[in-house]
Amino acid sequence: MRIGSEEKKIFWYVAMVFIIAVSIVVIFYGRIIVSVLWFTLAMILANTSFFMDDAMGKASRYLLTGGIFAVMIFCPVWYLGLLTIPVLSYALLENAKTDRILRFLLCAFSFGILLYKESPDLIFVLIALGSLIAAYLLMEICLMVFRKYTSTNEKLGRALTASAVDAMEQRSLREQLAKSMSINEHNARLEERERISRDIHNSVGHTLSAATVTLEAASMLVPNDQERAREKIDVANSRVHEAISSVRSVVRTLDAEDDCIELCDYMKSLESMTREFMMDTEIKIYSNFSQIDQEGRLPIGTASFLSSSLSELLTNGVKHGDAKIFVVTFIYDTKNVRLKVQDNGCGFGKLSANEKKILINNGFGLRKMLEYAEKHGGSCVIESEDGFTVSLSLPLEG
């Protein structure tokens, strides 16, 4: 067990005091040279061991231990053992077992010197022996207290470190959670923005385009047939109102608390959409909307996507494929909703597969259909061998 710097400093001060005390005793017994050598070497070795923890510091501690026994040999005074016990314990502060053995040997050596040199009486022997035992035990108690204090500090330090690590981990987790929530919110905003742009493009855009075409036709009819021109203007006005209603519908969808629409209401809206398209273009559309009488609910996002996709496919079929007939099939079950739109137009013609892919990626409508279907776990299959066919399938959650 390593002794902390504060405890080691206390032992260093104690060692300094007893090094000086030993030097004074040695001078008192007329060994001035031994005293000077002891004081100089002891000070150098004690300070080296205190300030250096490497191999040199370790060697200094063992040399200081040897110097203690050397001064006892050159100046055989029994009570030097009492004065050198703290210095010995300082030198072996981090090795309790070795310190205990050498302190015992030092006390025994001091007691042997007493018996050999002094020839004391029994009372003096008992006093000296009691003093050595008391010094040995006192040092043992001091070391036990300091080591227990050090152990407590180490445990407290480990607990504080563990607490700091836990706090850092909790902080890191909170930061990761905040980042994840921020990313999810950002993705949700992007998804909502994408849906709104798709709705405006497919619903409002197509309606305004039809109104523009009607107004252009009306302007051409004004000089020759004002009555029919007025009818065209009324139709265009109706289309503009439909566009305004579509914008309001998008806003209501954003503010709606219920995120689902009844299936029967949705079928009526699709039927109305196809009927208005046939009135504007005089194109035939065959659908099964009126045949669907089952109960069910569609998420607003799914319903909006299918409506805008149907509008996009009808407009593109007439505009790009010169289609004259459409067949629209809607299928609803407990797990999926499917919309299939077929026309008799030219489709992609004789384009290669790679050219078709480039054409789809460059277009807004078909590319958005593919991205939306894949993103929501559905599918979008495009076929153009005989006319043009798009099959959309989306899962129903819950």
How many CA atoms are closer than 13 Å to the CA of 278, on its beta-carbon side?
A: 13
The predicted model gives 229-234 an average pLDDT of 72
Per the CB < 8 A criterion, the answer to whether 139 and 106 are in contact is no
User: How large is the average pLDDT for residues 372-380?
Assistant: 88
Evaluate whether 328 touches 311 at the Cβ level (below 8 Å): no
Mean pLDDT of the chain: 77
How many whole angstroms separate alpha carbon 152 and alpha carbon 16? Answer: 27
The yes-or-no verdict on residue 199 having pLDDT over 70 is no
For residues 321 and 363, the answer to whether their CB atoms sit within 8 Å is no
Q: State yes or no: pLDDT of 286 exceeds 90.
A: yes
Tokens matching residue 149? 């204090």
% pLDDT > 70, the chain: 77
Give the integer Cα–Cα distance in Å for 93 and 181.
55
For residue 385 the two structure tokens come to 């061998």
Phi, psi for 52 (deg, rounded to 5): -125, 130
CA pair distance 287, 346, nearest whole angstrom: 21
Beta strands in the chain (DSSP E): 260-262, 284-287, 297-299, 325-332, 336-343, 379-383, 388-395
| Residues in contact with 36: Cβ distance below 8 Å, sequence separation at least 6, in sequence order | 23
Give 107-133 pLDDT, tens digit per residue. 787 878 777 777 777 887 788 788 888
Query: CA-to-CA distance for 349 and 171, rounded, in angstroms?
Result: 60
* pLDDT score of 271 more than 50: yes
How much of the chain exceeds pLDDT 90, in percent? Answer: 6
What pLDDT, on a 0 to 100 scale, did the predictor assign at position 2?
44
The predicted-structure confidence for 58-72, as pLDDT tens digits, reads as follows 788 778 777 788 887
Give the DSSP per-residue string, 191-247. Answer: HHHHHHHHHIIIIIIHHHHHHHHHHHHHHHHTTT-HHHHHHHHHHHHHHHHHHHHHH
Integer Rg of the chain from CA: 50
395 in Cβ contact with 376 (< 8 Å): yes
- Going from N- to C-terminal start, the domains of the chain cover 5-119, 260-398
Of 272, 255, 256, 253, the closest CA to residue 264 belongs to 272
Determine whether domain 260-398 maps to CATH 3.30.565.10: yes
Q: Is the dihedral of CA 8, 10, 15, 20 positive or negative?
A: positive
Higher pLDDT, 170 or 355: 170
Q: What three-state secondary structure class fits 172?
A: helix
Spatial distance between the Cα atoms of 102 and 183, rounded to a whole number of angstroms: 68
Judged by average pLDDT, the poorest of 168-177, 255-264, 367-376 is 255-264
pLDDT greater at residue 36 or residue 216: 36
Nearest-5° Cα angle at 57, 54 to 63: 145
What does each C-alpha distance from 330 to 14, 116, 291, 333 come to in angstroms?
A: 96, 118, 10, 10
C-alpha–C-alpha distance, residues 28 and 373, integer Å? 103
Q: Which amino acid, 264? A: C
| 130-139, 187-196, 236-245, 286-295: range with highest mean pLDDT | 286-295
Q: Are 317 and 277 in contact (CB under 8 A)?
A: no
Q: Position 345: which residue type?
A: G
